[in-house]
Structure 1
Amino acid sequence: MTDYRFPRTARVRARNDFDRIFKHGRRVALPVLALHFSLDDPASATASAADAAACPGGARLGLAVSRKVDPRAVGRNRIKRAFRDTFRRIRHCLPAGDYVLVARPGASRQSGEALRAAFLQLLQRAGALPRGDVGGTMRAEAVATPTAPPAPAPRARDDEPPPA
């Protein structure tokens, strides 16, 4: 069974870690959210053995939600809760590395489901998650949609003779 916990070792917490990711990491963005990430090189062991044992997936999440996003702590915490829950569920699928989400002012007007979708979309664009779409120019929904049922035959009117 997959462990969906979010232990302390799976969090980016130190200021120097945030600075390193912002300075040397890569970035993908949407209007409401930006993802800064730095994937670990398997050849270099930057994490200690204790961290690797405590966090087998190796993926760590950091969140930056400022007062510019929402002046109320309740709103900022709602945004962070949606991101933490999504990360906790997919952490085992992510490559080892550090991921920092920076919420933008439009995020406070988004629903939790929209925030989760934006986060997953950024992870796909970053190459951390496989894309959900099929190769080609058409979306998978358009290809897999069944055709409409045939139209019913027109009813005969009372003044017409029955069909032979």
Structure 2
Amino acid sequence: MEQTFARRYRLTKTDEFSSVFGFKRAIRGKWLMLHYQPRPADSLSARLGLVVGKKLLKRAVHRNKVKRIVREQFRLHRHELPLCDLVVRLAARPAPLDGKALAEDFLILLGKLSRPKPRREEK
């Protein structure tokens, strides 16, 4: 199994990010927000895009740390994910920048994504 974070597993173009945000499906965690859009069945794997703005984390060192943590967890769990484009966005400022807590938050979001949603019964 390939364990790299190759270019084919990334969202790189503005249009790709826009289509995921335009699909308007998201799961909120404690610090992260996961936007997602299903991919065609002939796709090879899930893809990841990251948005960490200066508004929440002023220092580039901290923004890069968040990105590294999320990329690593995606890389390790990519084979378990459904075929979809994911955009992870920092939704709240983590008071102490704790790598383990961010990784756990991301894994919880991935778990919610993988679980099928229960259908609502109509009256």
Q: TM-score when scaled to structure 2?
A: 0.85
**Per the alignment, do residues 68 and 108 of structure 1 end up closer, same or farther by CA in structure 2, a change over 3 Å counting?**
farther
Aligned equivalent of 2:119: none
1:68-79 → structure 2 map (5 Å cutoff): 68-79=55-66
**Per the alignment, do residues 78 and 108 of structure 1 end up closer, same or farther by CA in structure 2, a change over 3 Å counting?**
farther
Q: CA RMSD in A?
A: 1.8
CA distance in 1, matches of 2:24, 2:76: 23
1:1-164 → structure 2 map (5 Å cutoff): 2-42=1-41, 45=42, 56=44, 58-107=45-94, 109-126=96-113, 128=114
**Per the alignment, do residues 129 and 107 of structure 1 end up closer, same or farther by CA in structure 2, a change over 3 Å counting?**
farther
- In structure 2, runs of 5+ residues without a counterpart are 117-123
**Per the alignment, do residues 100 and 28 of structure 1 end up closer, same or farther by CA in structure 2, a change over 3 Å counting?**
same
- In structure 1, runs of 5+ residues without a counterpart are 46-51, 131-164
- CA drift of 1:109 comes to 2.7
- Number of residue pairs the alignment of both structures matches: 116
Q: Which amino acid counterpart does residue 104 of structure 1 have in structure 2? A: A
Q: Contact (CA 8 Å) 2:30, 2:105: kept in 1 or not? A: no
Q: TM-score when scaled to structure 1?
A: 0.65
CA distance in 2, matches of 1:75, 1:60: 23
Structure 1 stretches of 4+ with a deviation exceeding 3 A read: none
- CA drift of 1:129 comes to 6.0
State percent identity of aligned pairs. Answer: 34
**Per the alignment, do residues 115 and 63 of structure 1 end up closer, same or farther by CA in structure 2, a change over 3 Å counting?**
same
Structure whose alpha-carbon radius of gyration is higher: 1
